[in-house]
Chain A
Amino acid sequence: MGTSAKQPIIEVDRVAKSFGPLTVLNDLSFAVAPGEKLALIGPSGSGKTTILRILMTLETINGGHIRIDGEQLFHMERDGRLLPADERHLHRMRSKIGMVFQLFNLFPHKCVLDNVTLAPILTGRVPRAEAERRAMELLDMVGLADKARAMPAQLSGGQKQRAAIARALALQPKIMLFDEVTSALDPELVEEVLNVMRRLAHETDMTMLLVTHEMSFAHDFADRVLFFDRGRIVEEGGPDDIFRNPREERTQAFLRKIIAAGQRI
Chain B
Amino acid sequence: MIDWTGYLPLILQGAWVTAQLTVYGCALAFAVAFAAGLGRLSRHGIVRALASVYIEFFRGTSIFVQLFWVYFVLPLFGLTLTPLEAGVLALGLNVGAYAAEVVRGAILTVPKEQYEACTALNLTRRQSLRHIVLPQAFVVMLPTFGNNAIELLKGTAVVSLISLADLTFQAQVVRAQTGSTAFPFLSILLIYFLFALLISLATRGLERRLARGLDGARA
Binding site for B on A (CB under 8 A): 56-58, 87, 91, 94-95, 97-99, 101, 103-109, 111, 118-119, 122-123, 151-155, 160, 167-168, 171
Which single residue of chain B is at the shortest CB-CB distance from A152?
B219
Q: Report yes or no: B219 in contact with A118, Cβ–Cβ below 8 A.
A: no
CA distance A109 to B116 in the complex (A): 16
Q: How far is the CB of B162 from chain A (nearest CB, A)?
A: 43
Give B94-135 as 1s and 0s: 1 = Cβ < 8 Å from A's Cβ atoms.
000000000000000000011011011111110100011001
A106 to B122, CA, bound (A): 15
State which of B119, B121, B136, B139 has its C-beta within 8 Å of the C-beta of A58: B119
On whether A109 and B121 interact (CB within 8 A), knowing A101-B113, A104-B219, the answer reads no
Contact B219–A106 (Cβ < 8 Å): yes
Please give, as numbers and ranges, the residues of chain A lying within 8 Å of B132 by CB-CB distance.
107
- A105-B113, A107-B219, A109-B136 are contacts. A99–B214 as well, Cβ < 8 Å? no
The CA-CA distance from A105 to B139 in the complex, in Å, is: 18
A154 to B121, alpha carbons, bound, how many Å? 23
Pair A153/B122 contact, Cβ less than 8 Å? no
A91 touches B122 (CB 8 A): yes
Cα(A103)–Cα(B218), bound, Å? 10
Minimal beta-carbon separation of B190 from chain A (angstroms): 39
Q: CA–CA, A157 to B32, complex, Å? A: 40
Cβ of B126 to closest chain A Cβ, rounded Å: 10
Which B residues touch A57, using CB under 8 A? Answer: 119
Structural contact, B120 and A99, CB atoms closer than 8 A = yes
Report chain A residues within 8 Å CB of B218: 108
A-B interface pairs (CB < 8 A), number: 80
From B124, B139, B217, B219, contact of A91 by CB (8 A): B124
In the complex, whether B205 has a CB less than 8 A from a CB of chain A is no
Q: Considering the complex, give the chain A residue whose CB is closest to the CB of B120.
A: A99
Task: Contact check, A122 vs B127: say whether CB atoms are below 8 A apart.
Answer: yes
Q: When the two chains form their complex, are residues A119 and B122 in contact, meaning their CB atoms are under 8 A apart? A: yes
Q: Is the CB of B214 within 8 A of A56?
A: no
7 closest Cβ pairs, A-B complex: A152-B219, A151-B213, A106-B219, A119-B121, A105-B117, A108-B219, A99-B120
B125: which A residues are within 8 A, CB to CB?
87
Inter-chain CA distance A118–B214, complex, in Å, is 18
Interface centre among A56, A109, A111 (most CB of B within 10 A): A109
Question: For the complex, what is the distance from the CA of A95 to the CA of B120, rounded to whole Å?
Answer: 9
Contacts A94-B122, A104-B219, A107-B219 supplied; 15 other A-B pairs, CB < 8 Å: A56-B116, A56-B119, A58-B116, A101-B116, A105-B116, A106-B219, A107-B117, A108-B136, A109-B136, A109-B139, A109-B214, A118-B123, A123-B123, A155-B219, A167-B121
Please list 9 pairs of residues, one from A and one from B, whose beta carbons are closer than 8 Å in the complex, sorted by A's number: A57-B119, A101-B120, A107-B117, A108-B217, A108-B219, A109-B214, A118-B131, A122-B123, A151-B215
Contact A153 B116 (CB under 8 A): no
A122 and B126 CA atoms in complex are apart in Å by 11
**Considering the chains assembled together, what is the distance between the CA atoms of A103 and B114 in angstroms?**
11
| Chain B residue at smallest Cβ distance from A150 | B213
B:125-181 near A, CB below 8 Å = 125, 127, 131-132, 135-136, 139
Q: Across the interface, which residues of A come within 8 angstroms of B114, CB to CB?
A: 105, 107
Whole-angstrom distance from the CB of A113 to the nearest CB of chain B?
13
Which chain B residues border A167 with CB–CB below 8 Å?
A: 121
Residues of A within 8 A of B124 (CB): 87, 91
Residue of B nearest to A151 (CB): B213
Contacts of A56 in B (CB 8 A): 116, 119-120
Q: Determine whether the beta carbon of A151 is less than 8 Å from that of B214.
A: yes
Q: Are B219 and A123 in contact (CB under 8 A)?
A: no
Tell me, in angstroms, the Cα distance from A20 to B86 when the chains sit together. 52
- Chain A residues whose C-beta falls within 8 Å of the C-beta of B122 in the assembled complex: 91, 94-95, 119, 123, 171
Contact B214–A108 (Cβ < 8 Å): yes
Q: How distant is B114 from chain A, measured CB to nearest CB, in Å?
A: 7
Docked complex: B182-219 residues within 8 A CB-CB of A: 213-215, 217-219
Residues of A within 8 A of B121 (CB): 98, 118-119, 123, 167-168, 171
Assess the B119–A153 pair: CB atoms within 8 A.
no
CB distance from B85 to the nearest CB of A (A): 37
Considering only CB atoms, which chain A residue lies closest to B116 in the complex? Answer: A58
